[in-house]
Amino acid sequence: MAVGAAAVPSPHRRLREQLADPKILVAPGCYDAFTATLIDKAAFGACYLSGAGVSYSHTGRPDLGLVTCTEMVARIAAIAEAVSIPIIADGDTGYGNAANVARTVRAYEQVGCSAIQLEDQHFPKRCGHLAGKELVSAQEMAGKVRAACDTRRDSDFVVIARTDAIATHGMDEALDRAELYMNSGADVIFVESPRDRKDLETIATRLGGRVPLLANMVEGGKTPLFTNSELQDMGYSLVIYPNAILRGVAKVGADILEDLKANDTTRESLHRMRDFKELNKLLGIEEFAVFEKKYMPQSE
């Protein structure tokens, strides 16, 4: 670093600063380096690596706890190489007990993750907006939160604690668990699947101002969709859209395939696509050309 040059804050530190800002942080969901690049190019402050998105895209199956820690770590590493914005990553249950959580936190942090989300379901888990969930005890989850906080190497690495208790035990239990997880060291609290505005406001009334709160906007899920401004006004600091991009890909991709079958060509689908040149420009082809000219032998 040149003498007098200002240090660039780490992604972890930038995430902390954004969570402390009165303006809500919007973290769209990605499932690979390409979708993370779209989020970065669109100038969002962070991206959220969705475990469901990895399950959909990597296994072609629903979010039923099929994805492993190793598969998530590989995705995080690829995303961290592609973008510089903070990566918030789904850690499911930590893939086991508190010892597994500790290993998962180390692995996530080592490859460039800035925050891990952990939940209080039994392993294997399932999507928070699906039926059939079962929870571990509140004390077991509190131990996992403490293990995650004690294991991280960088104190700026963010631990997000999620409870799914609204669906299984009701709001009172969910709030009690959230309070326990906060007191166990969680940096952000995520109460999954509020059913309406009243639920969201109840959560914010109990916990808001003491810890940043995360809202999860799942299109077609159990929680109604509110605007980011509305969520900010309720008291939320972070909102994720885990699979909005993937749902768009699923719809547009299916439409393109139907057009191809019906029209014997993709010409009728061009309005749905970025063309060859646009896509390569988005992915940095011009920067690679500069790199090649600087470092690689040029043909005569």
Residues near 227 by Cβ (< 8 Å), separated by ≥ 6? none
Dump pLDDT digits (tens) for 178-223: 999 999 999 999 999 999 999 999 999 999 999 999 999 999 999 9
Tokens at residue 218, please?
Answer: 């799942």
Which pTM does this prediction carry?
Answer: 0.92
Query: How is the chain split into domains, by residue range?
Result: 11-243, 250-295
Phi/psi for 265 (5° steps) reads: -165, 165
Phi/psi for 41 (5° steps) reads: -65, -25
Dump pLDDT digits (tens) for 65-94: 889 999 999 999 999 999 999 999 999 999
The residue with tokens 């109460």 is 191
Per CATH, which fold does 11-243 belong to?
TIM Barrel (3.20.20)
User: Are residues 101 and 52 in contact, defined by beta-carbon separation less than 8 angstroms?
Assistant: no
Chain-centroid distance of CA 34 in Å reads 15
